[in-house]
Amino acid sequence: MNVLVIGSGGREHALAWKIAHSERVERVLAAPGSAGMEGVAKCFCDVEASDSDAIVALCQKESVGLVVIGPEDPLAAGLADRLRDAGFAVFGPSAAAARLEGSKAFAKDFMQRHGIPTAGYETFDALAPAIDYVRERGGRCVVKADGLAAGKGVAMCADPEQAERALREMMEDRRFGEAGCRVVVEDWLDGEEASYYAITDGQHIVTLAAAQDHKRALDGDRGENTGGMGAYSPAPVFTAEVEKRTFDRIVLPTIRGMAADGVPYVGVLYVGLMIDSEGQPSVVEFNVRFGDPETQPLMVQMQGDLMPLLLGAARGELDEQTPLEWPGAAVCVVMASDGYPRQYAKGVAIRGLAHAGGLESADDAVVVFHAGTRRAADGGFETSGGRVLGVTARGHNVQQARDRAYKAVAEIAFEGAQQRRDIAARALDR
């Protein structure tokens, strides 16, 4: 079977890498893909993820048997609907179901309606009442752009002054464009975050391992929110008891609730969780696609074939007994451009990429996934994005995986490179 992966980032590179190791797959294609993905996929760099007509034509020309949509933007725009209408099997939710991520207000209202635990909130379409609200509350809160903002439209605010600045950036300065026209102001939840994944055909559900992401730019969870500076799996905070509560109180009610609302959910449901000191999980956010960079360690850690899950969900034939194992641990360290998550330079030469483009063997201990790179004039690689590389390693435990990842990071260099030095430290400190 030929499989088409939509997207060009580190998540898509990791998915293509894992799919390529399946005996069920003849060829992996990527649109647009990237030069960094060429080791595992044939890339069609002239086909944009937003061009549904070109993607349908590509599927027809290349006899594609399954389309896996990586990013959230084309899902929210209805690419899965268009492909299904054209007769193709698609892993990814409809535009209606993708509102779980496309609108924070929609997701919060959905959770409130279906009794799914989440933080208290208020939604605002105008700046003045939003400012009045955070001033009246007088304490910590979380300000979120309602729409899609590449994972960066969230501000953790310690006081009303920080909240007001965040509101003005989103609603007045339009830092995130139209995504910030509406905002959600949430109560602050204390606890430890984790990311949990469930693959579903709208009825049957297969859960994956949990991971833990590092959203803040600087060590010690300081600085601005980013798309993610690293991740690791497993997450020690996500015990068997927490997993059962998460499935029973969050995952299952969400899938059943979407079906009851007339928008059955097909694809992967990412549940961003806050787990309190008593092990009670609450939803921080839903994503309607694999997370980035959590996908990188999950794909490296996963033992088993991903294709039966992707194809089963797409065809409405998901086997809940699909064998998967999660031995050891995996850690991903993101190397980012200087200035990220705000302004950054492009075209900076990258040195030391011994395994540029991804490794060929699923047994390799270290894999370098390309998130924001392009070919340089000399045939090497240069930066083309904020998050540049996801250096990912597996090991018998978190310590070994972490050591391997940071050893590989030390071998790669580009001017202005920044990375956190405490990825997975929380797991080791427990």
Question: Domain range spanning residue 56?
Answer: 2-95
Residues 353 and 222 in one domain: yes
Query: For the residues 324-331, what does the mean pLDDT come to?
Result: 95
Residues 218 and 169 in one domain: no
Query: DSSP letters along 237-286, please?
Result: TS-HHHHHHHIIIIIHHHHHHHHHTT----EEEEEEEEE-TTS-EEEEEE
Reported confidence tier of residue 139, pLDDT bands at 50, 70, 90: confident
User: Tens of pLDDT along 232-283?
Assistant: 999 999 999 999 999 999 999 999 999 999 999 999 999 999 999 999 999 9
Residue 111 lies in a domain: no
Let me know if 45 is exposed, middle or buried by CB neighbors in 10 A (0-12, 13-18, 19+).
middle
Residue 161 to residues 140, 144, 377, Cα–Cα distance (Å)? 10, 16, 47
Between CA 216 and CA 268 the distance in angstroms is 24
Give the rounded percent of residues in the chain with a pLDDT score beyond 70.
97
Largest CA distance in the chain: 60
Of the candidates 79, 95, 111, which is a domain's last residue?
A: 95
Residues 250 and 229 in one domain: yes
Residues 212 and 179 in one domain: no
Please, are residues 388 and 336 in contact by the beta-carbon 8 Å criterion? yes
Residues 182 and 225 in one domain: no
Residues 49 and 128 in one domain: no
Residue 108 lies in a domain: no
Query: Where residue 361 sits, what CATH number does that domain have?
Result: 3.30.470.20
Query: For the residues 110-126, what does the mean pLDDT come to?
Result: 97
Please, are residues 187 and 260 in contact by the beta-carbon 8 Å criterion? no
Given a cut of 50, is residue 360 above it in pLDDT?
no
Residues 49 and 141 in one domain: no
Residue 101 lies in a domain: no
Residues 286 and 410 in one domain: yes
Residue 56 lies in a domain: yes
User: Ramachandran region of residue 87, left (φ > 0), alpha (ψ -120 to 50) or beta?
Assistant: left
Query: Where residue 166 sits, what CATH number does that domain have?
Result: 3.30.1490.20
Reported confidence tier of residue 362, pLDDT bands at 50, 70, 90: very low
Residue 365 lies in a domain: yes
SS3 content of the chain, % helix, strand, coil (to 5): 30, 25, 40
Residues 261 and 165 in one domain: no
Q: How many domains does the chain have?
A: 3
User: Tens of pLDDT along 37-71?
Assistant: 999 999 999 999 999 999 999 999 999 999 999 99
Residue 321 lies in a domain: yes
Residues 267 and 280 in one domain: yes
Between CA 190 and CA 296 the distance in angstroms is 27
Query: Where residue 32 sits, what CATH number does that domain have?
Result: 3.40.50.20
Residues 28 and 132 in one domain: no
Residues 79 and 223 in one domain: no
Position 134, amino acid: V
Please, are residues 228 and 291 in contact by the beta-carbon 8 Å criterion? yes
Identify the residue whose tokens are 């975050």. 193
Identify the residue whose tokens are 């006899």. 63
Name the nearest CA neighbour of 149 among 197, 101, 90, 190. Answer: 101
Residue 307 lies in a domain: yes
Given a cut of 80, is residue 152 above it in pLDDT?
no
Centre a 10 Å sphere on the Cβ of residue 354 and count the other Cβ atoms it contains.
Answer: 10
Of the candidates 167, 187, 207, which is a domain's last residue?
A: 187
Please, are residues 366 and 357 in contact by the beta-carbon 8 Å criterion? no
Between CA 45 and CA 173 the distance in angstroms is 33
Residue 113 lies in a domain: no
